[in-house]
Every structure is written in C-alpha cells, then in structure tokens.
Amino acid sequence: MVKLVLEESNAYKIQQIYFSNDRVTRRIIEMAADIMEQVVQEINLSPTSMFAAQLDESTNESSCAQLLVFVRYVFLHEIKDESLFCILLETATKALDVMEKLTE
C-alpha cells in the first residue's frame, strides 16, 4: 500500500521501522478511543443532544461474542451515522450483560 501511495523509496524507509505487536495494539486502542471521543463530542454539540443507538451482538470466527454500537445524530444540519464502539462480551449475551456494557 505504501508503494502505491508514497512510492517505492518511501516504502523501503517505512519497512525499516520496527513495530511490535504491543505497539500496534496500543495504537489501535488509542485511535478507537479518539474516534469514540470525537463522536460523543459531536453528539454533545448537536442542537438537541439527541441521538439514536443501534446495538448488535455478533460472534467472530473464534466464537467470541462482541457488542457493536452505532449511533445516528444531527451535527451541523447533517444526519450522521457512526460506529461508536465494539467491545467483547466476556460473560454472556443476555440483555442484562449488554446493558451493563452499554452503561460502562
């Protein structure tokens, strides 16, 4: 991908940078938290601070249950649909477990 976007010489430079699994995982978590913070900030800045949430429970290929939360809200006179977060459901997928995660 870097070759296509930044040319061959830059791809070699980027390939020389060491990224541990921990560093990559930490950066993904930081980016997800930043995106969630931006969405919440936009909801709070919307004229009515009203939003709709859609929740979906899904199971990935390793049989781990995940809760996906999407929101719809108005920001700058535009209706926006965003993914708010995706989190593992460690215990069960009952309504009570989903509500606990949503409340957190």
Per-residue pLDDT, averaged over 86-90, amounts to: 83
| Res. 48: pLDDT tops 90 | no
Tell me the H-state helices in the chain: 2-15, 21-45, 95-103
Under 8 Å between Cβ of 83 and 69: yes
Q: What is the pLDDT of residue 8?
A: 78
At 12-33, the pLDDT tens digits run 777 777 777 788 889 889 999 9
pTM over 0.85: no
